[in-house]
Amino acid sequence: MRTFSAKPIPEAERRWVMIDANGLVVGRLASIVAMRLRGKHKPSYTPHVDDGDKVIVINAAKAVLTGKKRDKKVYRYHTGYIGGIKERSAKSILEGKFPERVVEKAVERMLPRGPLARVQLGNLRVYPGPDHPHAAQNPEKLDVAAMNRKNSRSA
């Protein structure tokens, strides 16, 4: 037998997948999205090739954090200056101007670091509300809540 290894072709078989994040747990949603972006759900998965799907996440502002994470989870970043470490809670981000960043960061941190992951992260589109400009791509809906009962949580 021979091991299949995909070649990095630009015309890879890509599908557009849309996920409604309304009531979904952020971590479980992010792990499913990261797996789709990498292409691990396909039998032709090869670690060094970008052959994952393009993923649209809508209603990201309505995603749920379990336990006390909404109040106690802290996102830290550094300004680049001495003593310039800043932090914000998940609650302040979700109530702020860009609530979809919680989902984006969760997915970004579930991908391996490097140039390939940055390309794969470019295949992710996250929108805080139900509207998105990708109707022409005919995205197929993926029901994440039906995959496992723990994936969704009522607020």
Per-residue model confidence (pLDDT) at position 56: 97
Q: How far apart are CA 51 and CA 39, in angstroms?
A: 6
pLDDT in tens, 128-142: 999 999 999 999 999
Phi, psi of 147, rounded to the nearest 5 degrees: -70, -40
- Determine how many CB atoms are found less than 10 A away from the CB of residue 77: 11
Q: What is the pTM (predicted TM-score) of this model? A: 0.91
Q: How far apart are CA 15 and CA 52, in angstroms?
A: 8
- Percentage of the chain beyond pLDDT 70 is 97
Looking at residue 96, its amino acid is G
